[in-house]
Amino acid sequence: MLIEARGLARRYGQGDAAVQALRGVDLDVRRGEMIALMGPSGSGKSTLMHILGLLDRPSDGSYRLDSRDVSRIGSREAAQFRGRRIAFVFQGIHLIPRLTLQKNVELPMAYARMPAPERRRRAADTLASVGLGNLAQRLPSQVSGGQAQRAAIARAVAPGPDLLLADEPTGALDRASGREVLAIFQELNESLGLTVVLVTHDPIVARHAERLVELEDGRVVADRPVRDRLLAKPAEEGAIQ
């Protein structure tokens, strides 16, 4: 089991002004699994993602990542652990405008002091795997939004993380680009065995996962297999935002 969370709670503020974002969440995610966290705004899904990504700490409960309890590790250790093991893809793409796609993908590996020949090879190979091998030397302003998001995915996975957390990754894309990005997540999950947690409010996006975990008012209210994965009708796929 890659993720084992028990009784996760998160409170913000004190006294009468306190907000309870999570209320006793239990969650297991197997290595190599692709799950969708779904719920309306305020359901706690982004808070849970931040805890899973070591960007926040639970107020109560425990979180074990690859058998290690990371619930209470310090900020510096969390940053180091996050840099080695966890990757993120957000709705906002956040590529550096003055760097080529190749250099953008190389950047986190440069920060990790990976030797230049190795990071160049990994960046080139990963860009090719998401269909951007022929665009590696272009700037972000010279590619489409969907291509830029694919480059952001390449940047996330090139260092070889264990866990990929994607927060509304199709939210700023048109229908066709959204389908392409979701297909890439599935391919990474199936061919590389990468564990993917996809945060979304959209049931059509959630269908591309193997398993759906629904949150409401900070609690898990459903946890079930996605039985119609890849079977969304073309008209329904238009709902991708």
Question: What is residue 73's predicted lDDT score, i.e. its pLDDT?
Answer: 92
- In this prediction, residue 16 carries a pLDDT of 81
Model confidence over 25-54: pLDDT tens digits? 999 999 999 999 999 999 999 999 999 999
Q: Which two tokens stand for residue 6?
A: 């028990």
Reply yes or no on whether the pLDDT at 151 is more than 60.
yes
114, two tokens: 């990976």
Taking the alpha carbons of 80, 83, 86, 91 in that order, is the dihedral positive or negative? positive
- Res 229: pLDDT: 53
Q: Cα separation of 82 and 165, whole Å?
A: 11
pLDDT at 228: 57
Q: How far apart are CA 141 and CA 185, in angstroms?
A: 23
Query: So what's the pLDDT on residue 231?
Result: 44
Give me the mean pLDDT over the 144-151 stretch: 94
Rounded Cα distance, 154 and 131, in Å? 10
pLDDT of 235 strictly over 50: no
Average pLDDT value for residue range 134-153: 96
pLDDT digit string, tens, across residues 72-86: 899 999 998 898 899
Q: From CA 212, how far away is CA 208, in angstroms rounded?
A: 10
pTM of this structure: 0.90
d(CA 200, CA 214): 10
